[in-house]
Amino acid sequence: MTKVQTSFEESVARIQDGDTLIVGGFGLCGIPEKAIQALAEKGTKNLTVVSNNCGVNDWGLGLLLENKQIKKMVASYVGENKIFEEQYLSGELEVELVPQGTLAERIRAGGAGIPGFYTPTGVGTPIAEGKEHKVIGGRQCILEEAIQGDAALVKAWKGDAYGNLIYQKTARNFNPLAAAAGKFTIAEVEELVGVGELDPDFIHTPSLYVQHLLVGTSYEKRIERKTVQQA
């Protein structure tokens, strides 16, 4: 019943060429550093990656870009990455830009078995082109479809052997949504705690969403924009 694994290499070997992968994180905050590194080493190709951003040149999902492992990126903002720009302009990389709230909701819908939903977000913009429109409750909306992943990579703060997870501060971001929407979810945690140590009233990702759980060590947790108070 334990989901604890010890080899990131073996866990990411579950991911096949051509898979759709949902990856937690916002910018470089709360990204599954270790699983991404293992996947970069593994070299799995033709991935469709769904994640709010695409890392930076030499970190996070940028590592997979550098290796040309990503065929298509689904994201809301990709402005922090030069390699991304090159591959996109050369036509190597397919890109689907999705408003952040719609992206979050589509991933949630994927985990929650809601095949599609209507939202006013994007009406009258290029995002709405080709999408079904419907007025509901007096509001013009467009139809958006759920996103499910063949696999999901998430990063949590603490987890137990059953796969219960808690996240810290804004490192939560897309992680719980990704965990639920992955058919095979690999969670990495900073700390493995005993079963029963996490308060059942305050578990962010209940155990049933997680298939593999690994403990990562020496997290870099790079900061994109360190801002401090002027003393």
Partner 1 sequence: MSSQRENIIQRAVQEVENGTIVNLGIGMPTMIANYIPAEKNIFLHSENGLLGIGPYPGEEDVDADLINAGKETVTVKQGGSFFDNAESFAMIRGGHIDLAILGGMEVSSQGDLANWMIPGKMVKGMGGAMDIVQGAQKVVIIMTHTNKNGESKIRKACALPLTGEKVVDRLITDMAVFDFTPSGMVLREVLNGADVKTVEQYTEAPFTIDEALVDREAK
Closest C-alpha to 101, from 133, 134, 138, 127:
127
For 162, list phi and psi in degrees, rounded to 5. -80, -15
Type of residue numbered 35:
A
Nearer Cβ to partner 1, position 43 or 101? 101
Type of residue numbered 83:
I
Q: Nearest approach, Cβ of 99 to partner 1 (angstroms)?
A: 4
Question: With CB cut-offs between 5 and 8 Å by kind, which of partner 1, its own copies, none does residue 207 bind?
Answer: partner 1
Question: With CB cut-offs between 5 and 8 Å by kind, which of partner 1, its own copies, none does residue 67 bind?
Answer: none
Question: With CB cut-offs between 5 and 8 Å by kind, which of its own copies, partner 1, none does residue 59 bind?
Answer: none
Nearer Cβ to its own copies, position 87 or 207? 207
Contact 161, 213 (CB under 8 A): yes
Nearer Cβ to its own copies, position 129 or 199? 199
Distance from C-alpha of 125 to C-alpha of 130, rounded to nearest angstrom: 11
Distance from C-alpha of 66 to C-alpha of 98, rounded to nearest angstrom: 23
Contact 63, 55 (CB under 8 A): yes
Q: Nearest approach, Cβ of 184 to its own copies (angstroms)?
A: 19
Q: Nearest approach, Cβ of 101 to its own copies (angstroms)?
A: 9
Site residues (CB under 8 A) for its own copies?
A: 105, 109, 112-120, 134, 136-137, 139, 141, 145-146, 166-169, 172, 199-202
Alpha-carbon distance values, 151 to 106, 206, 223 (Å): 16, 17, 26
Nearer Cβ to partner 1, position 29 or 44? 29
